[in-house]
Amino acid sequence: MTAKPAPNYLDYIREIPDFPKPGVLFRDITPLLGEGDVFAAAVGEMGCFVPDDADVIVGIESRGFIFGAAIAFARNLGFVPVRKPGKLPAETHAIEYELEYGVDRLEIHRDALAPGKKVVVVDDLLATGGTAYAAGKLVQDLGAELAGFVFFIELVDLKGRAKVETLAPVFSVLPLEG
């Protein structure tokens, strides 16, 4: 049996101009998600960046849930969602942050991560770094060890890596110009 060549991920990413607001070029990964072998390859590549001693994957709403849960399943790790306000039913810890087109807020259950647990934060895309940085701070606020960040796409010219790597190492599968 021969190994399949890695897919050209760009063939499965749709660019949507002016979404969610004018001037933003949205990278739509739904075509990639719809192709099982391509999605599996992306999850496999992302999972290679998760340390062997990691305990938990934290996925950022919403596309971070897709990649994060798949990586957690493949690596036999726990999965914890970081959500937008009002979506988690138990007591939460929250943080406000700036993103490239406004201000937002993220929440995590206060009891989601035990102190000392080794955590990797996963999302589909790293842009300016505000959302990922906020998620990393939530992990740290709960006393867990932030082991790293893993992204499918990194918009390198937006320099989000510089902000996020002040907290932990950053890995991405597909560096793109923003």
Closest CA to 147 of 69, 79, 52, 43: 52
Q: Considering the entire predicted model, what is its pTM?
A: 0.94
Predicted local distance difference test score (pLDDT) of residue 70 = 98
Domains of the chain with CATH codes: 25-176 (3.40.50.2020)
Note whether 172 and 46 are within 8 A (CB): no
Predicted local distance difference test score (pLDDT) of residue 93 = 97
95 CB-contact burial (10 Å; exposed 0-12 / middle 13-18 / buried 19+): middle
Note whether 82 and 57 are within 8 A (CB): no
**Encoded tokens for 1:** 């049996």
* Active-site option among 45, 61, 100, 145: 100
Q: Give pLDDT tens digits for 38-90.
A: 999 999 999 999 999 999 999 999 999 999 999 999 999 999 999 999 999 99
100 catalytic residue (yes or no) = yes
Q: What is the 3-state secondary structure (H, E, C) of 156-173?
A: HHHCHHHHHCCCCCEEEE
Sign of the Cα torsion 39, 16, 123, 65 reads negative
96 catalytic residue (yes or no) = no
Distances (CA, A) of 47 to 4, 5, 113: 18, 18, 20
Predicted local distance difference test score (pLDDT) of residue 99 = 65
Give the chain's residues under pLDDT 50.
none
